Chains A and B, each alone.
Chain A
């Protein structure tokens, strides 16, 4: 033979045949029952880990946001409390002041009323006294006049005296 082919590089048809069979069997059986579930499990796990990490990050940011919110709420509450206290203080002060004012005005009013009443009483009393005194004077004067004017001469002199006193002007 011109070209002696080394038996080592001459493929045996038997091995080619069985190898094809073996490879196809492996490819189909392993592809269906090994590679598919294994790769799926690995992928699932990887995506699970990724998801979990993302979730953790999200949670973290959520927690931070919540904390911030809490702080803001707290600050607001504090502020509100402060304003409330302030308002309450103001209100109470106002109430006290108002009460004071009211009490004072009442007192003033009562005082004024009392004074008015006192004055009225006083006036009334004075008027009474005056009336009494007037009546007494009139009675006394009547009695005196009756006694003094029992004679005509005296009467006339007195009238004259009175008439002199009245000046027609």
Chain B
């Protein structure tokens, strides 16, 4: 078979694409119709429950019953859209773009591409090695690795929907700032010799992947596939996150939270980051907690720092990266990123006090 017959689409594909596109539009309309009725439905459902209304349990259950479908629906929409957008990007193409880029501009590009380039944590090592061996500078690679889990579509979309566009935009800008500056600092330190030796020995060839001609229906399928994949992996985290948020919402006294996380103490930001580092949660699980904390009067900077620490630094990720980084380099990585996050937290609490 020749290359031209490989690329030509089957004859009925145009019709299939049109049908799929129409079904997608219809699906989105139905989504909005259901979404606008959610609050009314959840109020009704809570009113039906045989509990004392107006108490702690009522508060917690309302939060849980309203937030669960809301978060799941928003997540589906956001993940679908980003699945379509992400079908335009791939780690291989991002790498080709970043290879040989100078530090500085390269860090900015890497952090930006980190938002859009799809990759899962089990790909972290191949991605890291693939980048470094293809001539992407170490600091630029780190900018990508920091930005990718921290500022992803799930985090931004849910923040936007649940907490508001100002917080989402703030998170985006300062998340990028942390990824860019932390990567730049690591690059300046010239720690290439702190990589595991085998990483330095790999010489990767360039690769020319054939499957780059994608149709609209391929991209819609990519969106559907993304929803299926993300839901399969993170729904438990989301339910746990919403339950934690519901508990905070219903039972934790506002005075206590304001006292600890309200911005009155200098140590609340570093403490939030220290607590956040070992916790591993998908961004989808942490945002209901963020929503509840903010609702109880926690300071924005402290909460954002907590969220960044949970998403950008996690015990499982560092264990995976241990295969390519020496312990010293991991310590530098965690230290630099944590310092950046703490700085963001302080800055915010100062700006919005």
A and B associate: no
Residues in A lying within 8 Å of B, measured CB to CB: none
B residues in contact (CB < 8 Å) with A: none
